[in-house]
A and B are shown apart, each in its own frame.
Chain A
């Protein structure tokens, strides 16, 4: 671009009208230059456009629609045109709805419990399997399998295993001479049972990310620790885990966000019962929308869930930004 600009300038003395003094082929170039310039400027937007359009259609539109919907009273099965604008009534309702608070409590308990257990188990498994043993890659693959199973199937499998009469656990307990355990029918146990199923499915996620983090640790730092006299566990505790921390933090956040939105497995296992003991927010939203048929209220509920997840993400992004700024400052001190 710059080259041809200079070229054009030299050939056109001040005051000369474009076209008159310039030979024909160059006049052509001059004529098309503005267009080329414009195209060049537009190029990045053209490249971004497909992604931007898809994001708008698939993400922003439903989100805005849901916000708009949350200000209206709309019953399932009636035309949207007949819905009424009700202002903040839906939000007022949910703040006074004990079921909302109950499901919020269940969701928080569920989400933090699964993340803590999955992180502990996943990191431990990764540390145990981060070595060159025979069949180790086979084990790694086996451990990752649960993550690949569709959540509905996971729900069905665990529902069968938890079954009090003919489930796998019932057989096992009976064979060992224990009384049957009401895995899904006791309000006290149901949430724990649901947590176990989720841990089974999603520990592999933490596991593979931790394993990847472990395998990318600086080899020489680990060798230095060996020479410094660290035992295997001292190395894990003083070197490996601290260095894995950034990856573990991201993996845990991703799991936390996901855990807030979990639906299928719990829907299949307990449908939120007994009582409200396993009714997490997304299930509550589902029931409000399709059982109570209150779409406006359901929209308000899902916006609350969105806010919670958004808040988590913002907190995490802020932490990352703080760390990055610290690192930049550190680099500047050199």
Chain B
């Protein structure tokens, strides 16, 4: 099984440069998720790997072959499309076997493979149906079945769940996660949904404006976002962003702004030495904000709660801190004020700081 390497990939439409020099290494059997807002170039990148879109420059290596000039059929790939892209005039079995029939596999082998994959995806009872006789979730399974039957070495998914409703989407997401444990292949998965990215990916590649913002494991991205964009994109509800100033009072490092005065861990002192009394952007995860006040009063976040959204096990408070909107996640079991002024504090280790100009993490 080969690894996939993308070197200096470019895509231009006329004068418009969509992707400008993208480099990406994917290890063998890795599940890579390209995630980003619409228009960030993630789908274009995937389509160039598939060969549906010509690269304007750069190289794409699958194993030890440079494939960027090859036809899609010669790249040893299978792809699942957003709108399923089933052949409307063929029944499920023929949809799944199309590639094998074109490649003139013996009929017995085709039948055996279709049967095996249909069982894997629990669609055996649908084999004689036409796509229009299937529900959205069933079509999605058939589309995956069609990709699996090919037994290609690389699987490409282009927003495969975004046409499903919320409930079905989370169900299919779980099934995908299970499937990928059984099918050990290179997979590249494109989505704009950061939850899909977090739950499915071994490696997440966050893209924005045709460039890779950061790549790494889900927890890497969540714990150590490289810049403000990644910080705001990964995590739900999104990270709170406040404007503040670094200062040192009585030998203690803290970050202050209107409505908050938060202590920072002492070990960050060295890294922040040059930024004392300068503006910074403070990032606070809604889940790292704690109710009440610290004993020594060294860390405080004063907010005015406007709304409490009860979600179940936890509740999301929509609040106002010095004129900026702040969301806070609290445990529904513990008592919390659902309106009015309230005190919170933040664990020093979970405070993110960003440069106000470059937006890079400090």
- With A238-B98, A334-B133, A334-B134 as known contacts, state yes or no: A227 contacts B72, CB within 8 Å: yes
Residue B130 at the chain A interface, CB threshold 8 Å: yes
- With A223-B85, A334-B134 as known contacts, state yes or no: A230 contacts B102, CB within 8 Å: yes
Secondary structure of the B contact surface, majority rule = loop
User: Within the complex, what minimum Cβ distance (angstroms) separates A245 from chain B?
Assistant: 8
Closest to B53 in A: A223
In B213-258, the 8 Å CB interface with A consists of none
Total A-B Cβ pairs within 8 A: 74
Q: Which residues on A sit within 8 Å (CB–CB) of B150?
A: 228
How many residues in B have their beta carbons less than 8 Å from beta carbons of A? 30
Residue B73 at the chain A interface, CB threshold 8 Å: yes
Quick one: CB contact mask for A12-31 with B, threshold 8 Å, 1 for yes?
A: 00000000000000000000
In A218-236, the 8 Å CB interface with B consists of 218, 220-221, 223-230, 234
Q: Which residues on A sit within 8 Å (CB–CB) of B99?
A: 227-229
B133 touches A331 (CB 8 A): yes
Category for how many chain A residues contact B: 20 to 34
Closest to A217 in B: B88
Q: Which residues on B sit within 8 Å (CB–CB) of A227?
A: 50-52, 72-73, 77-79, 99
Given the complex of chains A and B, what is the CA–CA distance between A333 and B131 in angstroms? 12
Residue B135 at the chain A interface, CB threshold 8 Å: yes
Residue A242 at the chain B interface, CB threshold 8 Å: yes
B133 touches A330 (CB 8 A): yes
A218 touches B132 (CB 8 A): no
In A242-292, the 8 Å CB interface with B consists of 242-243, 245
Residue A144 at the chain B interface, CB threshold 8 Å: no
Residue A239 at the chain B interface, CB threshold 8 Å: yes
- With A228-B150, A229-B73, A242-B89 as known contacts, state yes or no: A223 contacts B130, CB within 8 Å: no
B73 touches A330 (CB 8 A): no
B132 touches A221 (CB 8 A): no
Our pick among B50, B84, B87 for the contact of A225 (Cβ within 8 Å) is B87
Closest to B84 in A: A220
In B47-91, the 8 Å CB interface with A consists of 50-52, 71-73, 77-79, 81-89
User: Within the complex, what minimum Cβ distance (angstroms) separates A186 from chain B?
Assistant: 45
Closest to B149 in A: A228
A229 touches B103 (CB 8 A): yes
Closest to B75 in A: A227
- Chain B CB within 10 Å, residue with most, of A225, A227, A245: A227
Given the complex of chains A and B, what is the CA–CA distance between A242 and B98 in angstroms? 14
A223 touches B87 (CB 8 A): no
Q: Which residues on B sit within 8 Å (CB–CB) of A238?
A: 87, 98, 102
Given the complex of chains A and B, what is the CA–CA distance between A229 and B135 in angstroms? 27
User: Within the complex, what minimum Cβ distance (angstroms) separates A24 from chain B?
Assistant: 52
A224 touches B102 (CB 8 A): no
- With A221-B88, A228-B73, A230-B73 as known contacts, state yes or no: A333 contacts B133, CB within 8 Å: yes
- With A221-B85, A227-B72, A243-B88 as known contacts, state yes or no: A330 contacts B79, CB within 8 Å: no
B81 touches A223 (CB 8 A): yes
B133 touches A229 (CB 8 A): no
**6 closest pairs, A vs B, by CB?**
A220-B85, A228-B99, A229-B73, A224-B85, A330-B133, A242-B89
Interface contacts beyond A225-B87, A226-B72: sample of 15 additional A-B pairs, CB < 8 Å, sorted by A: A220-B82, A221-B87, A226-B51, A226-B52, A226-B71, A226-B73, A227-B73, A227-B78, A227-B79, A229-B102, A230-B98, A238-B87, A330-B130, A331-B132, A333-B129
Task: Enumerate 26 A-B pairs (CB-CB under 8 Å) in ascending A order.
Answer: A220-B82, A220-B83, A220-B84, A220-B85, A221-B86, A221-B87, A223-B50, A224-B85, A224-B87, A225-B98, A226-B52, A227-B77, A228-B73, A228-B98, A228-B102, A228-B146, A228-B150, A229-B103, A230-B102, A238-B87, A238-B102, A239-B87, A242-B89, A330-B133, A331-B132, A334-B135
Q: Which residues of B contact A (CB under 8 A)?
A: 50-52, 71-73, 77-79, 81-89, 98-99, 102-103, 129-130, 132-135, 146, 150
Q: Which residues of A contact B (CB under 8 A)?
A: 218, 220-221, 223-230, 234, 238-239, 242-243, 245, 327, 330-331, 333-334
